[in-house]
Structure 1
Amino acid sequence: MVSQFIKTGIFVFALFIVTESSAQNIDFKAYDNWEQVVADAKKANKHIFVDVYTDWCSWCKKLDKDVFTAEGVASYYNKTFINIKLNAEDGAMGEKFAEKNGVNGFPTLLYFSPQGKWVHRISGYRDPGDFVDAGWDAVNPERQLVSYETKFEKGEKSLEFLRTYIHAINEAGLDNSSAIQTYIAQLNDADYKDSTHWAVISYNFYDTDSEYFYSLLENKKSLEVSHGTASVNQFFEHAYSYKIYEIGKSEDAKALNSFISQVKSSIPDLAEKLTAYAQYIFYKDDEENGHKYAQKYLTMHCSNSNELNAAAWKYFENEEDEIKLNEALFWVLKSIRLDKNWYNTDTQANLLLKLGRLEEAKKAAINSIEIARRDGMDPEETELLLEKINDSLESR
């Protein structure tokens, strides 16, 4: 009798845990086609939430683990939306959906009306509070991105509105060029000194061929007085980086030389760094010149942690030369000094292993795993690397 009661009690307790656990998860439903999603949304009179992810996206996994299961998140989304997950790289529905909706970064989170019309969108990882806020915005006609878009198309051009609209576009990971051009066209030289306007310009305006950009160049000294040299230089470097990538894609050496001449005359204090960066991007895949320009830019000028790590990882994957691998190790150590994270410490461990420095590689791998766990990431790949390092240590 007692044992039966214990078994029953355990069963009830287990059932309670399962019920509570499932209540703390967003109920993502499986569908074979979009038409059925819309049919169910219409029937339930609910909006549609779509999480577009990939298997390799670590931030997608963090959303699954820490956000979709957070207190209050699941209850709101289950009550308000038909929820679905689509892998952008697996299955016809996910691939087609991602292409149709212009998804090129992950995670991308999209919201639709019960009739299947797009109304709102955000991109990238969000904490539980921001994620619930996005869900509120998605069902509020005054806060939906599509509403801002409609107002803009109908002629709403006030600076206050444009600031809100540009922010919403950025949150969605979409092109804001039309809105920012409309914003800056309403400003004069004196307005550039205003901190509110500068925040909008410096974060969003990168059209180096625009008349407004040349106006900003002419006002560079006064901008430095108002906003500081570091802020102003960062803006121009970032703006020119877009132009540099265009030239890199074009593979037009004349365009590269023209750009170098232009920055030498128009912005001499940044010309050396911009020239090094332009040459690095242009010759990135050039077997004869690529390494020379990588050395120059990454070693002497680059202060972007992610860029340094990406270059180091590329060398890890493609180089066998010990001198080049040691240079890559220098770049990743520079990346770590700027921003120590799971990604660059993992690169460090991989490079040290490839260089045969096993004890150092083990220490780096352990450190990388600890950082990943601290930041809520899944260190499975680094754990496999650590196993490989330990096997090498045991067999030597």
Structure 2
Amino acid sequence: MRSIIALCLTILFGNLAQAQTKGVKFVEGLSWKQIKERAQAENKFIFVELFATWCGPCQYMSNEIFPLEQVGQPINQNFISVRVQMDSTESDNANVKKWYADARAISNEYNIQSFPTFLIFNPSGQAVHRIVGASDAPEFVGHVMDGLYPETQYYTLLKKFEKRPQDIYTAKQMLKAANIAYDENTARKAENTLANSLGTDELFKKENVHILLAAAKFTNSKAFNLIRNNKEKIDILLESPGIANRTLANVVVNELFQIKIDAKHEPNWDSYQNELAAKYPDIDFVPMFKKIKAHYYLQVKNYVAMKNTINDYLSSEDFTPHQLNTFAWTIFNNSSDAACIESALSWSKKSIIEDPSSAFLDTYANLLYKKGEKEKAIKWQNKAIEMASEDDRPIYQETLDKMMKGIKTWEN
């Protein structure tokens, strides 16, 4: 089983965006039997989230990913969705208690060891796909949509791979699905098939080098060491400076940085970073730890420390537009510190240069408004409305109306 930190680290790349949009609609009040009967009647797949109340990544998915329209729209269209609480607490309501027996049965049948775990069942009620861990919105939607097709479904591929473990095409698909399902044993087998069948020279062809990156989930794997010994070559092949180092650092941190980050005890960052650097002196862990720290400070609501960490990170590395919008929107909703607002504006501006989507424009406009630049804010909010879909325009119009009236648009 992966350590809790391994799952927590995946949320570093999340997209904490505006949660006003239409998200995943989870069915409530039905039993597991009734859900399966409904799925069969409607010819829909079933999307099941297995979570625990104490699980940080589960809360992240619930609060920041599932409310997004870009997540809700494809999932609602193709799936009947249900959330299943896997632990028990004194505050559990009657509906949660009704699921105790089914939750235990699902846990036993599918060997649930980490949270969140997502299972996908076909309309006949058979498990076809498995996803473990939190991720950002675009990546998560991709993983879920994989559950609709036999060539990418984890459980379907597993049956094929067990019958034909030397088939290269199946091994490629199995490696990806096994990594997403955190099935380490199967991932290693698929990696060995590919490494032995393709050979080192074949793996270093541009069309195959992504297999190395996908296979490098463990420090003792062949893929990890091939990447470690050929970092510059891989960066050139993929035309992405630093991608090899980032892959290696992520593997090491997930495997060896085995502590539980919580709001009560801030880790000794320097001590852990130095410990890993001493063991792997050829890997640069500084950017990875800056990302970890940034998200930690976000979780504990230390927005000044988060701002300083992000600005430090951006001096040498880049976040994606989604990540920049994540942090900018969080500052907007939660901090009135002038320096934090100014930094968030710079992150937001960078995000809309790279991706001028309506949500990112809305973030920029709201930050301008909170700073006190009302006229500029109204101008940018009008741009957000122009770029928005028909469904989203009323939401952004409501924000514009508040700006026009001088009403607060932020939560805290």
TM normalised by structure 2 equals 0.63
Q: What is the one-letter code of the residue matched to 1:49?
A: F
Q: 1:363 aligns with which of 371, 374, 379?
A: 379
Q: CA offset at residue 354 of structure 1?
A: 1.0
C-alpha separation in 1, matches of 2:119 and 2:376: 40
SS of the residue corresponding to residue 303 of structure 1 reads coil
Aligned counterpart in structure 2 of residue 59 of structure 1, from 51, 70, 87: 70
Aligned match of 1:110: 120
CA distance in 2, matches of 1:370, 1:204: 43
Instruction: Find 1:306's aligned residue among 317, 322, 325.
Output: 322
1:340-384 CA distances to partner (integer Å, 9 max, x unpaired)?
A: 2233222212211111111111122222233231xx763454332
CA distance in 2 between partners of 1:372 and 1:197 (Å): 38
Q: Partners of 2:181 and 2:168 in 1: how far apart?
A: 19
Identity of aligned residues (%): 20
Aligned residue for 2:392, secondary structure, equals coil
Change (3 A) 1:366 1:389: same
Q: State whether structure 2 residue 154 is matched by structure 1 residue 158.
A: no
Aligned equivalents of 2:27, 2:232: Cα separation in 1: 57
| 8 Å Cα contact 2:39-2:46 kept in structure 1 | no
State which structure, 1 or 2, has the greater radius of gyration over its C-alpha atoms.
Answer: 1
Change (3 A) 1:157 1:384: farther
Q: Which has the higher contact order (CA 8 A, sep 6+)?
A: 2
SS in 2 for 1:340: coil
Map 1:31-110 to 2 at 5 A: 32-38=30-36, 49-51=45-47, 56-63=67-74, 84-86=80-82, 92=96, 110=120
Q: Distance in 2 between matches of 1:232 and 1:183?
A: 27
2:404 counterpart letter in structure 1 = N
- Mean Cα deviation higher: 353-362 or 290-299: 290-299
- Measure the CA separation in 2 of the matches of 1:275 and 1:389: 38
- Asked whether the 8 Å contact 1:280–1:293 carries over to 2, the reply is yes
Distance 1:378 1:204, change over 3 A: farther
In the superposition, relative to structure 1, how do residues 344 and 177 fare at CA in structure 2: closer, same or farther (>3 Å)? farther
What does the per-residue CA deviation read over 1:83-141, in whole Å, with 9 as the maximum and x for residues that have no partner? 744467996489977996879789x7833363x33134689547xxx97x965x46xxx
Q: Distance in 1 between matches of 2:252 and 2:404?
A: 46
Which of 383, 386, 397 in structure 2 is aligned with 1:383? 397
- 8 Å CA contact 1:303–1:338 kept in 2: the answer is no
Give me the whole-angstrom Cα distance separating, in 1, the residues matched to 2:242 and 2:225: 15
RMSD value over aligned CA atoms? 4.5
Partner of 1:76: none
The offset of 1:221, in angstroms, is: 3.5
SS in 2 for 1:266: coil
AA partner of residue 50 (structure 1)? I
Question: Are 2:47 and 2:82, in contact at CA under 8 Å, matched by a contact in 1?
Answer: yes
| CA pair 61-113 structure 1, distance change in 2 beyond 3 A | closer
CA distance in 2, matches of 1:109, 1:363: 44
2:274 to 257, 268, 271: 257
Indicate whether 1:202 and 2:213 are aligned. Answer: yes
Gaps of 5+ in 1: 1-27, 69-82
Structure 2: gaps of 5 or more residues: 1-25, 50-61, 86-92, 132-138, 262-266, 408-412
Of the three residues 179, 184, 190, the one matched with 1:183 is: 190
**1:312-327 matches, cutoff 5 A:** 312-327=328-343
Alpha-carbon distance in structure 1 between the residues aligned to 2:209 and 2:80: 40
1:49-76: CA deviation from partner (whole Å, max 9, x where unpaired): 22569772312443378x56xxxxxxxx
Q: What code does the residue aligned with 2:167 have? A: S
Instruction: Summarize the Cα distance change of 1:242–1:158 in structure 2 as closer, same or farther, 3 Å threshold.
Output: same
Alignment partner of 1:185: what SS?
A: helix
Q: C-alpha separation between the residues in 1 aligned to 2:330 and 2:291?
A: 17
C-alpha distance 218-57 of structure 1, shift in aligned 2 (>3 A): same
State which drifts further: 53-62 or 350-359: 53-62
State the one-letter code of the partner of 2:45. F
Give the AA of the match of 1:386. L
Please report the TM-score for the alignment, with normalisation by the length of structure 1.
Answer: 0.65
